[in-house]
C-alpha cells in the first residue's frame, strides 16, 4: 500500500518525521511532500520511495502550483499530515487520498478522515509516529527508544567534504551551533564558550550561510589552529556528518540538535524562550539541556520570537558560558565512561 506523508515544516520537523517514514515503509512505498530544503535531507533516506518537492513560496506558489503538486501526489491511499495547515489537508484531498490522518489540534483537521490526539506530554518524534501507529508510539516510553530515534544518511560526497575540512586534524572536537531561525533562541555566549572549550578540545562551528555573523563571534576568539569553521560550507547532510564525528554538540533549540539526534551525538541544548517539555528536546543518549529555571515567563512561545516580549531576555542572557562548558564536559565524561 502506498502512503503519502506531508511535511513542509522546518528542518527539525523533517528530521523528526523519519521514525514515521521508517514505520510506514514496512507496509509499502512512501511518498513524501516536502520543501526544497527538506528534500535535501530526505533524498538519501531508504524509507522514502519518492520525493515530491513543494516550493510553495516560489516555483509552486499559487493555485497552479498547488494543483501541480496535488497531481504529482496522486496514487496513495493514506495521507499523513505532519504539517497541519489547511493547505496541506486540502492538498491531500485534491490528491484523492481516501484516508487523511492528522492531529486533533491542527488547523486543517476539518479536511481529515481520521484525527489522532496531539499528546502535549510526548516528544514530537513520538507524536508524529502516532499518526502511523498509535500503539507503537504509546510503547516508546523512553526518549532513547529506537522507535523514535530519527535517522539521516549522508552521502560519500558529504563524507569527502568533511574529510577535506578536517584534514591534518587528529584532536577530538566539540561542535558549536550558534544559529537559529528565531532571534530569541540565539544564546549570546558562544564566543566565550568556544574560548573556554578550546583549552581542551578543537572546535567546529556548524551552521548555514545565514549564521556567518554568529560564527564570527566564535572564530574571532579562538586560535585558528584550534577551530574549523564549517559555516555555509557544507550541505545539511554534510553538517550531519560533521556532527556525527564530534564528541559532543552545544546548540540552541534548533535544527542541529535534531541532526545530532539522528547520528547519536550527545548534545547540550540551550533553551531560552522554549523548554524541552514542549517536545523538541535532544534524543541522543547522554544529552543534557540548559535553561534559566528562575523565570516564571518561560516558555513564552512554542517556537521562539523575534524579540523578548518583556524586553529583558533573561532566559538567555543569564546563562553563562562557564555553566554550559561544564555541562559539555559532563556529557563528554559520561560518554567516555559509558
Say if residue 79 is in the same domain as residue 202.
no
CA 263 to mean position of chain CA atoms: 12
- Please compute the mean of the pLDDT values over residues 2-26 and round it to a whole number: 97
Q: How far is CA 206 from CA 3, 127, 219, 241, 254, in A?
A: 34, 28, 12, 11, 12
- 310 vs 169, 295, 299, 307, 313, CA distance in Å? 45, 12, 12, 9, 7
Is the Cα torsion angle 110, 116, 119, 123 positive or negative in sign? negative
Do both 189 and 78 map to the same domain? no
pLDDT at 338: 77
Q: Measured between alpha carbons, how far is 207 from 292 in angstroms, rounded to an integer?
A: 24
Helix (H) / strand (E) element for 135: namely: helix 134-139
Q: According to the model, what pLDDT value does residue 139 have?
A: 96
Q: What is the reported pLDDT for 322?
A: 98
Q: Do the beta carbons of residue 171 and residue 142 sit within 8 Å?
A: no
Pair (210, 122) in one structural domain = no
Single residue among 120, 148, 176 that ends a domain in this structure: 148
- Checking if the pLDDT of 241 tops 80, the result is yes
Task: Tell whether the model's pLDDT for residue 219 goes beyond 90.
Answer: yes
Judgement on whether residues 139 and 238 belong to the same structural domain of the protein: no
Give the H or E element holding residue 175. Answer: strand 173-177
| Average pLDDT for 89-99 | 97
Together in a domain, 140 and 283: no
CB 54 within 8 Å of CB 64: no
116 lies in the same domain as 224? no
Query: What cell does 8 get?
Result: 513542509
Residue 97: partners with Cβ closer than 8 Å, 6 or more residues away: 4, 73, 76, 77, 78, 79
Residue 336: the pLDDT is 86
Whether residue 99 is found in the same domain as residue 143: yes
- Segment 306-328, tens digit of pLDDT: 999 999 999 999 999 999 999 99
Percent of the chain with pLDDT over 70: 100
Q: What is the mean pLDDT of residues 332-337?
A: 90
What is the spatial distance between Cα 98 and Cα 92, in angstroms, rounded to a whole number? 9
* Residue 178 sits in the same domain as residue 324: yes
Q: What angle do CA 250, 295, 306 make, to 5 degrees?
A: 65
**The pLDDT value given to residue 170:** 86
Please check whether residues 201 and 333 belong to one and the same domain. Answer: yes
Answer yes or no: do 188 and 229 share one domain.
Answer: yes
CA–CA separation, 186 vs 323, rounded Å? 16
Residue range 277-298: average pLDDT?
Answer: 96
Last residue of a domain, one of 148, 171, 195: 148
Q: What is the mean pLDDT of residues 93-101?
A: 97
The side-by-side arrangement of strands in the sheet containing 267-271 is 227-229, 202-205, 173-177, 248-252, 267-271, 288-291
Q: How many domains are there within the chain?
A: 2
* 257 pLDDT tier (thresholds 50, 70, 90): very high
Percent above pLDDT 90 for the chain? 95
Mean pLDDT of 200-206: 97
Q: Give the containing element (helix H, strand E) for 7.
A: strand 3-7
Confidence of residue 168 (pLDDT cuts 50, 70, 90): confident
Give dist(CA 248, CA 316) in Å, integer.
21
- Report whether pLDDT(151) > 80: yes
Are 175 and 290 in a shared domain? yes
List the Cα angle 14/20/24 in 5-degree steps.
130
Q: Tell me what the pLDDT averaged over the chain comes to.
A: 96
Q: What is the pLDDT of residues 115-135, one digit of tens each?
A: 999 999 999 999 999 999 999
Per-residue b or e along 105-126, where b marks 16 or more CB atoms closer than 10 Å to that residue's CB? ebebbebbeebbebbeebbbbb
**298 lies in which domain range?**
156-337
**How far from 14 is each of 60, 95, 218, CA to CA, in Å?**
19, 21, 28
Please report, for the domain that includes residue 243, its CATH number.
3.40.50.2000
Same domain, 132 and 274: no
**Cβ neighbours, 10 Å, residue 25:** 16
* Confidence (pTM): 0.96
Q: How many Å from the N-terminal Cα to the C-terminal Cα in the chain?
A: 42
Which residue, 152, 190, 138, 159, is CA-closest to 284?
152
Amino acid at each position: 500500500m502506498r502512503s503519502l506523508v506531508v511535511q513542509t515544516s522546518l528542518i527539525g520537523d523533517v528530521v523528526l518525521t523519519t521514525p514515521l517514514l521508517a514505520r510506514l515503509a514496512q507496509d509499502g512505498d512512501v511518498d513524501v511532500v516536502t520543501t526544497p530544503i527538506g528534500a535535501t535531507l530526505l533524498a538519501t533516506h531508504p524509507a522514502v520511495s519518492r520525493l515530491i518537492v513543494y516550493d510553495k513560496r516560489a516555483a509552486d506558489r499559487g493555485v497552479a502550483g498547488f494543483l501541480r503538486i496535488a497531481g504529482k501526489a496522486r496514487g496513495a491511499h493514506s495521507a499523513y499530515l505532519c504539517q497541519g495547515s489547511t493547505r496541506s489537508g486540502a492538498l491531500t484531498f485534491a490528491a484523492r487520498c481516501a484516508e487523511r490522518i492528522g492531529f486533533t489540534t491542527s488547523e486543517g483537521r476539518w479536511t481529515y478522515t481520521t484525527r489522532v490526539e496531539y499528546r502535549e506530554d510526548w516528544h514530537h518524534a513520538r507524536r508524529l509516529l502516532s499518526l502511523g501507529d498509535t500503539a507503537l508510539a504509546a510503547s516508546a516510553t523512553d526518549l532513547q527508544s529506537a522507535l523514535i530515534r530519527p535517522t539521516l544518511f549522508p552521502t560519500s560526497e558529504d563524507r569527502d567534504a568533511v574529510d577535506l575540512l578536517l584534514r591534518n586534524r587528529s584532536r577530538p572536537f566539540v561542535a558549536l551551533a550558534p544559529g537559529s531561525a528565531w532571534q530569541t533562541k540565539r544564546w549570546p555566549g558562544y564566543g566565550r564558550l568556544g574560548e573556554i572549550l578550546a583549552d581542551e578540545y578543537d572546535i567546529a562551528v556548524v551552521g548555514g550561510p545565514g549564521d556567518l555573523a554568529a560564527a564570527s563571534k566564535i572564530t574571532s576568539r579562538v586560535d585558528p589552529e584550534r577551530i574549523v569553521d564549517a559555516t555555509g560550507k557544507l550541505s545539511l547532510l554534510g553538517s550531519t556528518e560533521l556532527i556525527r564525528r564530534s564528541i559532543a554538540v552545544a546548540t540552541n533549540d534548533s535544527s542541529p540538535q535534531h541532526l545530532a539526534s539522528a547520528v547519536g551525538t550527545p548534545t547540550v541544548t540551550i533553551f531560552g524562550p522554549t523548554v524541552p517539555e514542549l517536545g523538541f528536546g535532544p534524543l541522543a543518549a547522554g544529552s543534557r539541556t540548559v535553561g534559566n529555571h528562575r523565570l516564571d515567563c518561560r516558555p513564552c512561545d512554542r517556537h521562539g520570537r523575534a524579540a523578548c516580549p518583556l524586553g529583558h531576555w533573561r532566559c538567555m542572557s543569564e546563562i553563562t558560558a562557564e555553566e554550559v562548558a561544564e555541562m559539555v564536559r559532563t556529557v563528554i565524561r559520561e560518554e567516555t565512561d559509558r
